[in-house]
Amino acid sequence: MNKNTRTTSRPFDPVNYPQTDADIVAHLHAVLEDDDPALLAAALGDIARARGMTSLAQATGLSRASLYKSLSGERIPSADTLFKVIHALGLKLSVSVREEAS
């Protein structure tokens, strides 16, 4: 390797990678398995940033600043905010019975 060759890296940010609807659904399924509302908020925040926070703010009627704070993963947003964001992102929730480990 040449001594003059430099390798640079950037912190991982899921917003930098294209995500299909199937990828988003799989990611949210995995997040929901952790039973952590702050993690769910952060995952929705990643999706929102990838799709455009300004358009999400318009669709939800919430300010961009409020959305950034609510979806940072550092706090647990209200159910009202979560439902507005989920709906505005074109997602829907479904419920199923949890399979218990034998």
Three-state DSSP state, 15 = helix
Place 15 in a pLDDT band, splitting at 50, 70 and 90: low
Residue 4 has pLDDT above 90, yes or no: no
Residue 69 lies in a domain: yes
**Is 41 inside any structural domain?**
yes
Range of the domain at 26: 20-88
The one-letter amino acid at 55 = S
* pLDDT of 18 strictly over 60: no
Closest among 78, 84, 76 to 60, alpha carbons compared: 84
Residue for token digits 């703010």? 57
Residue 10 located in a structural domain: no
Domain count, the chain: 1
The answer for residues whose C-beta is within 8 angstroms of residue 35's C-beta and 6 or more apart is: none
- Structural domain contains residue 75: yes
Residue 7 located in a structural domain: no
Residue 49 has a CB neighbour count (10 Å cut-off) of 17
On whether the pTM is more than 0.85, the answer is no
Pick the residue with more confidence: 95 or 12?
95
- H helix runs in 9-96, sequence order: 21-33, 37-51, 53-60, 64-70, 79-88
Q: What pLDDT, on the 0 to 100 scale, is given for residue 44?
A: 94
65 occurs within a structural domain: yes
Q: Is position 96 within any domain?
A: no
The answer to whether position 73 is within a domain reads: yes
Query: For 39-98, what is each residue's pLDDT tens digit?
Result: 999 999 999 998 899 999 999 999 999 999 999 999 999 999 999 999 999 999 888 887
